[in-house]
Amino acid sequence: MTTNSSNETLASPGEKVLQKAETVKKTAVRKVLIVEDVPSVQNVLRRFLERDGFQVVAMDNAEDAVSNIATKGDDFGVIFVDLHLPGMNGVDLCRQIRDARPLAVIFAVTGFDAKFSLIESRRAGADDYFIKPFDMKSILRATADAFERRARWNNTEVSFQR
């Protein structure tokens, strides 16, 4: 930082970018959807994410999630999808979410280390996966990183529209 003739503090271009990023981080709505049918898992995820400042909506089945995304148009930046849901499975849900919300970051979650399901979920649009029991620090870090990535994408889209 430097000062001008009237002793005002002037930020360097790099410092301005960092300040803008911090402002965006503090003011942006960081909305997360959890689709998980096991109440205890859903509650732990919700509690940790909310404590870290995320706005969380939780649902226990794929059909409600699809309906919410299609009719309400909620812009969830990050979506956690259990791969083993009753009714529509998580892989099919990933596919539908990816079609409806191409910029959403989808994390598949599973209690099974089934390579087939994980590969299928990646093909269906999941960006990454977590195996239960979770390392909550990894979940929080991945969620925060996903929102930072979305902010960059949004800034890129704006700059291309000029």
> Average pLDDT per run of 10 along the chain, which is 162 residues long?
57 60 55 96 96 95 92 82 92 93 91 73 90 92 92 58 36
Instruction: Record the tokens describing residue 108, joined without a space.
Output: 């598949």
Predicted pLDDT at 69:
87
State how far the Cα of 68 lies from the Cα of 119, in Å rounded to an integer. Answer: 26
The correct CATH number of 28-154 out of 3.40.30.10, 3.40.50.2300, 3.30.70.2190, 3.30.1280.10 is 3.40.50.2300
pTM of structure? 0.76
β-bridge mates for residue 81, sequence order: 35, 108
- Asked if the peptide bond before residue 133 counts as cis, ω within 30 degrees of 0, the response is yes
Predicted pLDDT at 160:
33
State how far the Cα of 47 lies from the Cα of 103, in Å rounded to an integer. Answer: 25
Predicted pLDDT at 27:
42
